[in-house]
Amino acid sequence: MARPAQARIDLAALRHNYRLALQLAPHSKAVPAVKANAYGHGAVDVARALEPLVPAFGVACIEEALELREAGIEKPILLLEGIFTADEVAVAAAENFWMMVENRIQLEALVDAELASPVSAWLKVDSGMHRLGISPDDVRGFYNALRESANVKGDVVLATHFACSDELDNDFTARQIQCFKSAVEGIEAPLSMANSAAILGWQEAHADWNRPGYMLYGTSPFAHSHEHGDKLQPVMTLRSAVIGIREIGVGESVGYGSSWVSERPSRIATVAIGYGDGYPRHAPSGTPVLIKGRRMPLAGRVSMDMITVDVTDLNEVVIGDEVILWGPDLPVNEIAKQAGTIGYELITRMPLRTPRVYLDD
């Protein structure tokens, strides 16, 4: 008794991908990014599965960090964008959240706070992405202010973030590394640069702390086949089942807007998955789904709760047959490309309506 749409989450694959991040950068520690509900996979379950392996977790905001604490996660949690309001500093100190400092307002909130115990801080340097972080010229001043503050404990990690590390023939990453290294020259502090694409493809970006996100969920951040990207194991399988089958004649249309019209007598399978379940509405006719291990094309628009598939070329299809929308045998990146987006968005936007089913072995 259940609608068959599910996102199956393979926790063994998740751990494999984290270990790959460690193997590729054996001299670095790796803080897994579990922000945005672990890119749609379920932050609490993902963090529980990784906790024995990791030094800390990375999230986007204190609400996400508190969710993990309330679920019993005990490792430190890095707030990748720092705090949004000054009252968060005391919470960060009390809960062992590491605070990224991105600007003067965050610095002052940290230094001026009245804390029962000090907090760990990272300092974010803008090496060319121009989204967050302090200017390279300000590094020394910010760094000294943090080191001198009684509110800050231990090392201050110096960090930066890449704009183009998924483009392996783009030298913008090399220029960002150069800019960052010259900004931090002479400072004896741990460094952090690499996201997933840089862990997989830019060895010179590996530093004391790496920050893998997307790769943990098993899909390559690169557009093309890559020796390390291809070693990843997809964690999420989006699956559902056939709930209707009909034969239609030549010239009949299928779905909203009658956008798909049969050019031959056709068999149409209706599948219980739609944009309300995280399948992209912009996936056009022709986008593949897997039925009985074979790729069958979408026929007609994606509805909220259903899609329609042309299964004329499949011999036997019956109601109840499993349908895979993406997973190990059908890369989410391929579906994303069809829909005009990236795999990051499709997995991250998986709605709560779609049950996550956790598999571990």
Ligand X SMILES: *Cc1c(COP(=O)(O)O)cnc(C)c1O
Q: How far apart are the first and last CA of the chain?
A: 25
Residue 214 binding ligand X, by CB under 6 A: yes
Please identify, among the stretches 47-55, 89-97, 207-215, 263-271, the one whose residues bind ligand X according to the rule CB under 6 A.
207-215
Nearer to ligand X, 21 or 290 (CB): 21
Residue 344 a catalytic site member: no
Nearer to ligand X, 20 or 80 (CB): 80
Q: How far is CA 31 from the centre of its chain?
A: 13
Q: Where do the DSSP E strands lie in 169-261?
A: 191-192, 209-210, 236-248, 253-254, 260-261
Nearer to ligand X, 203 or 259 (CB): 203
**Interface pattern 139-178 for ligand X (x via CB under 6 A):** ----------------------x-----------------
Q: HSE of 57 in the Cβ direction (CA atoms, 13 Å)?
A: 30
Strands 6-10 and 29-30 turn out to be unpaired
Residue 35 a catalytic site member: yes
Residue 212 binding ligand X, by CB under 6 A: yes
Helix axes 104-112, 139-148, angle to 10 degrees: 10
Q: What is the largest CA-CA distance in the chain?
A: 78
Residue 196 binding ligand X, by CB under 6 A: yes
Distances 209 to 77, 148, 280 between C-alpha atoms, Å: 14, 23, 35
Catalytic residue chosen out of the listed positions 35, 124, 217, 279: 35
Please identify, among the stretches 213-221, 253-261, 286-294, 346-354, the one whose residues bind ligand X according to the rule CB under 6 A.
213-221
Q: Shortest Cβ distance from residue 209 to ligand X (Å)?
A: 10
Catalytically annotated residues: 35, 256
> Under the rule (CB under 6 A), what is the footprint of ligand X?
33, 35, 80, 161, 195-196, 211-215, 221
